[in-house]
């Protein structure tokens, strides 16, 4: 049950309008000065009010906790309003207010008093800023990823009126794009999951040959001279796999504007594991591209924030060749086909879309950054995920050690390719147990992390593990042929994939499967194809004298 509806528009005046609904039984509570909620609520009435609530979601980077009332349906609004009234008297609580949800009634969306706005390119900066001033909006950031674009704040206590303000601004002839800053819980694309994914091997007496032939690709290149930016929750850059000279470059924590991307919380484990899949140095765990450089970009903000766009801007401006993103909207329950979250559209904000456009237009000296996104682990159609379904990225699905689809992996026409990851058996779907634990990769050193007894984990996977695997493959390609554009890399990966599960994959006449995209990545084929393209390009420019022989050519000629 919901009361009240609020709309916003992505894509400008003729774009897509979305609706959010006021929840009848959810309450958002924000503390002051990063206080813990248990200590922030002092009065007995306040503590009693908290006992009548059930925790739904936490947004620690914003000091916000979302609760649901435990009351019966008929009493929910009254109980919610009473709880709000009591908690608003607590001096250490900054905000106690309403919560908006998607059409599914489950997906929580937090509204802020901030707006992203882009004026048409021919409007002068003075005119843009005069309009903002007349609208009582304060400039917090003039973005670097799009002309005449700003991140602005409305006066405190504007509250839900922020939606009306944004929609009114969008109707002005000078304004091209405008929407409120909305944040959702960011889902990290991992499952319960273990280096069979790199090469054919024998595990437990069983021959496994469902990898990406990275070992064969390594005869040509190990990913030298290529930089992979991973945008994620934190990176243990002191790990033995990453601490060789020159391995880590241009570290950044977007939230604090510092150069320290290390984990800040006990749950910041995801980025270290993803980085290992892409480019671990090979001391114990090898990445797909073990000699590639790591650009760790820590993003602790929730989905849709301006920080998200700034992360892409940082990566593109600081020399990233590839950007890997193992995150996106929260997934529905993969084992419950009726979960309404499966068909809840989470669109790509204009701010993030423009930052991705900037990365593919301006990155790599105009050749464009290659961007990979984890497809998702909800066993749902990827088209409802505006991030992974963006046409300028590669949506990566997960396949298992039997050469079949992982049970949780998202599907759809937007899937570009698949990469091996962990899986699990599930009798109700007649899905067999996997033959291996999953992906073996780096973990935070010491007790923190997925494995408290070591610096590596064999319990990582999901499409989170698949996405950096494709990023690593792209690094091998660019290492041997750095002149390729982002579109050419994307096409090359498509053309070099292996068609797996030909009976169940339902490949169309163009060779595309909704489960595997154009197939499972084959790193060896991709590198050989990239070398062939380079040779053809070099031969067409024979009139230009060749001044040096690359490391790759030395390996081929050896």
* Domains annotated on the chain, with CATH: 2-104 (3.30.70.80), 109-184 (3.30.70.60), 187-537 (3.40.50.200)
Place of tokens 């590669």: 394
- What average pLDDT does the chain have? 90
pLDDT value, residue 72: 80
pLDDT value, residue 209: 87
User: In DSSP terms, which residues pair with 93 in a beta bridge?
Assistant: 31
pLDDT at 514 over 70: yes
Give the tokens for residue 153. 């704040």
For residue 537, which phi and psi values (nearest 5 degrees)? -65, -40
Give the tokens for residue 176. 């091209």
Residue spans of beta strands (DSSP E) within 258-311: 293-298
Catalytic site residue from 25, 63, 181, 232 = 232
Confidence of residue 510 (pLDDT cuts 50, 70, 90): very high
Calculate the alpha carbon distances from 514 to 172, 179, 389, 502 in Å: 41, 32, 12, 12
Confidence of residue 3 (pLDDT cuts 50, 70, 90): low
Confidence of residue 226 (pLDDT cuts 50, 70, 90): very high
Give the tokens for residue 3. 């009361």
Task: Encode pLDDT of 171-202 as tens digits.
Answer: 999 999 999 999 888 765 443 334 678 888 87
| Known catalytic membership, residue 401 | no
Task: Encode pLDDT of 438-495 as tens digits.
Answer: 899 999 998 889 999 889 998 889 999 999 999 999 999 999 999 999 999 999 999 9
Give the tokens for residue 535. 């040779």
- If residue 160 lies in a helix (H) or strand (E), which one and from where to where? none
Catalytic site residue from 18, 270, 421, 455 = 270
pLDDT value, residue 266: 86
Confidence of residue 544 (pLDDT cuts 50, 70, 90): low
Angle, CA of 95, 104 and 339, to the nearest 5°: 125
* CA-closest candidate to residue 351, choices 183, 154, 149: 149
| % of residues, the chain, pLDDT over 90 | 68
Task: Encode pLDDT of 84-136 as tens digits.
Answer: 889 888 888 888 888 899 988 888 998 889 999 999 999 999 999 999 999 99
Helix (DSSP H) and strand (DSSP E) numbers for the chain:
13, 24
d(CA 101, CA 539): 58
Give the tokens for residue 441. 């990769």
d(CA 112, CA 99): 11
Mean pLDDT of 532-556: 53
Task: Encode pLDDT of 413-428 as tens digits.
Answer: 999 999 999 999 999 9
Q: How many residues does the chain have?
A: 558
| Known catalytic membership, residue 270 | yes
pLDDT value, residue 477: 98
pLDDT at 53 over 50: yes
User: In DSSP terms, which residues pair with 228 in a beta bridge?
Assistant: 294, 322
- Bridge-based pairing of strands 149-153 and 108-119 is antiparallel
pLDDT value, residue 191: 33
pLDDT value, residue 104: 86
Lowest mean pLDDT among 59-68, 243-252, 538-547: 538-547
Give the tokens for residue 474. 């792209």
Catalytic site residue from 409, 421, 464, 479 = 464
Asked if residue 194 lies in contact with residue 437, where contact means CB atoms within 8 angstroms, the answer is yes
Across the beta sheet with 370-374, the strand order is 252-253, 293-298, 227-232, 322-325, 370-374, 394-399, 415-420
Mean pLDDT of 331-336: 94
List the alpha helices (DSSP H) in 214-259: 214-217
pLDDT value, residue 553: 31
Q: Cα–chain-centroid distance for residue 87?
A: 35
| Known catalytic membership, residue 464 | yes
Mean pLDDT of 54-69: 85
pLDDT at 305 over 60: yes
Confidence of residue 539 (pLDDT cuts 50, 70, 90): low
Asked if residue 457 lies in contact with residue 272, where contact means CB atoms within 8 angstroms, the answer is no
pLDDT at 221 over 50: yes
pLDDT value, residue 555: 28
pLDDT value, residue 538: 67
């Amino acid at each position: 049950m919901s009361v009240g509806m609020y709309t916003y528009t992505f894509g400008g005046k003729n774009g897509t309008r979305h609706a959010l609904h006021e929840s009848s039984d959810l309450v958002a509570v924000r503390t002051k000065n990063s206080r813990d909620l248990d200590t922030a609520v002092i009065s007995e009435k306040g503590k009693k009010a908290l006992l009548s609530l059930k925790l739904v979601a936490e947004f620690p980077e914003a000091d916000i906790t979302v609760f649901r009332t435990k009351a019966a349906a008929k009493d929910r609004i009254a109980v919610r309003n009473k709880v709000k009234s009591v908690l608003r008297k607590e001096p250490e609580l900054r905000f106690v207010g309403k919560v908006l949800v998607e059409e599914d009634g489950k997906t929580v969306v937090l509204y802020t008093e901030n707006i992203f706005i882009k004026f048409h390119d021919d409007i002068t900066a003075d005119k843009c800023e005069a309009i903002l001033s007349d609208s009582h909006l304060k400039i917090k950031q003039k973005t670097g990823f799009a002309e005449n674009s700003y991140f602005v704040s409305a006066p405190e206590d504007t509250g839900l009126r922020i939606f009306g303000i944004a929609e009114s601004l969008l109707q002005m002839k000078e304004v091209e794009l405008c929407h409120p800053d909305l944040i959702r819980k960011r889902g990290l694309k991992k499952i319960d999951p273990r280096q069979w994914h790199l090469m054919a091997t024998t595990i437990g007496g069983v021959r496994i040959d469902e990898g990406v032939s990275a070992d064969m690709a390594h005869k040509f290149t190990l990913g030298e001279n290529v930089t992979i930016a991973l945008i994620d929750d934190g990176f243990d850059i002191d790990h033995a796999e990453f601490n060789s000279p020159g391995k880590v470059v241009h570290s950044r924590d977007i939230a604090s504007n510092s150069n320290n991307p290390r984990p800040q919380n006990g749950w910041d484990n995801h980025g270290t594991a993803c980085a290992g899949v892409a480019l671990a140095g090979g001391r114990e765990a090898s990445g797909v591209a073990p000699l590639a450089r790591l650009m760790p970009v820590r993003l602790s903000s929730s989905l849709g924030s301006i920080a998200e766009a700034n992360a892409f801007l940082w990566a593109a401006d600081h020399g990233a060749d590839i950007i890997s993103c193992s995150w996106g909207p929260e997934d529905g329950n993969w084992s419950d086909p009726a979960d309404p979250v499966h068909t809840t559209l989470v669109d790509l904000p204009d701010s993030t879309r423009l930052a991705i456009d900037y990365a593919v237009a301006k990155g790599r000296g105009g050749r464009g950054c290659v961007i990979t996104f984890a497809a998702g682990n909800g066993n749902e159609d990827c088209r409802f995920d505006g991030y992974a379904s963006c046409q300028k990225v590669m949506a990566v699905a997960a396949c298992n050690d039997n050469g079949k689809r992982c049970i949780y992996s998202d599907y759809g026409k937007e899937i570009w390719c698949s990469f091996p990851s962990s899986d699990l058996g599930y009798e109700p779907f007649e899905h067999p147990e996997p033959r291996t634990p999953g992906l073996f990769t780096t973990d935070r050193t010491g007790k923190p992390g997925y494995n408290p007894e070591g610096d590596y984990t064999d319990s990582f996977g999901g499409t989170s593990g698949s996405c950096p695997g494709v990023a690593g493959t792209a690094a091998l390609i660019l290492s041997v042929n750095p002149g390729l554009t982002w579109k050419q890399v994307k096409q090359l990966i498509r053309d070099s994939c292996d068609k797996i599960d030909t009976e169940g994959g339902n490949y169309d006449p163009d060779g595309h499967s909704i489960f595997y995209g154009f197939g499972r990545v084959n790193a060896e084929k991709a590198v050989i194809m990239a070398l062939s393209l380079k040779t053809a390009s070099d031969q067409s420019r024979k009139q230009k004298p060749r001044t040096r022989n690359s490391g790759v050519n030395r390996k081929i000629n050896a």
